Structure 1
Amino acid sequence: MSLAHWMLVAVVVMLVFGPKRLAEAGKGLGQGIRSFKQGLDTSDRDRE
C-alpha cells in the first residue's frame, strides 16, 4: 500500500472512532507496550 492509501485509512479511522477514543486507544497501547518491555526486562534479570 502506498502512503496515500495509509493516509486515507487514517482519516477513515479518525472519522469512525473520533479523536477522543483514538487518543485513549493510543494511550492504552503505549501502556501495554511499556508493561511488556518491563516484563521482559524483569525476566532477563531473574535469569542472571
Structure 2
Amino acid sequence: MEDDFEIIGDIPSIVKHGVMNPPALMINGVVKISGKIPTVEEVVEVIQQF
C-alpha cells in the first residue's frame, strides 16, 4: 500500500481537525479513531473499509 500520511502535533491544528481527544486516526478528513492508541487490527479494519 502506497499512501501519504501526516502527523499533526500542534494543539490548534488538532482541534481545527475536530479532534477533541488525541491521539486520533483520521482518514480522508474523517476521524475514525480518537482518544486511544489503536491496535494494528483496529487500524487494518478501518483502512479496509475504504
With normalisation by structure 1, the TM-score equals 0.30
Structure index of larger Rg = 1
Structure with the bigger RCO (C-alpha within 8 Å, sep 6+) is: 2
More helix by share: 1
More strand by share: 2
